[in-house]
Amino acid sequence: MFRSWIVLFVVFIVYTYMVYSNCDKRNTNDSIPDKRALAGWKTWQAKNCQSCHQIYGLGGYLGPDLTNVARDTAKKEIYLRTFIKYGTGKMPNFHLNDSEVNSLIAFLYWIDKSGKSKVSKDKVTWSGNYNLEQ
C-alpha cells in the first residue's frame, strides 16, 4: 500500500516539474509582461476584477470574458478605456486614475497575446480532444 502511494507520488512530482517547466512553449520574450502590464495585473487583483470577469473562461459571470477584449475589432480601445474609467450601470466606477487605467489596458493587451479564449470548431479532433497550436 505504502509503496504504491510512494510510486504515485513520485510520478506526481515528475509531472508537476514538467508542468512548471514546459507548459508554455512560447519564446520567453513573447511571454514576459512589461512593467505596465505587471502594474495592471496588480490593479486587476486589488479591485477583484475576476469576481465579475473571466479570463480564459475562469472567473465570475457578471461581466464578459476579457481575454481578447483588447484587440476586439468591434470594440476599439476607447470603448475599453471608457468602461474601465467610468464603469456602467452594472459595473461600478472604481475611480481609477489615468495611470491605473493605462496599466490595466496594458495588462489586457498582454493577456490577449497569450492566446484565444474561444476554441474554434475546427480545433476539435476525432477523439473529442482539442488540437491547439501555441
Q: Report, in Å, the least distance between residue 112 CB and other proteins.
A: 10
Report the interface residues with other proteins, using CB under 8 A: 1-2, 4-5, 8, 11-12, 15-16, 19-20, 22-26, 28, 31-33, 38, 41, 44-52, 54-65, 74, 89-92, 110-111, 114-119, 124, 128-134
**How many other CB atoms are there within 10 angstroms of residue 67's CB atom?**
20
Q: Report, in Å, the least distance between residue 7 CB and other proteins.
A: 10
- Name the residue nearer to other proteins (CB basis): 76 or 92: 92
Q: Report, in Å, the least distance between residue 76 CB and other proteins.
A: 14
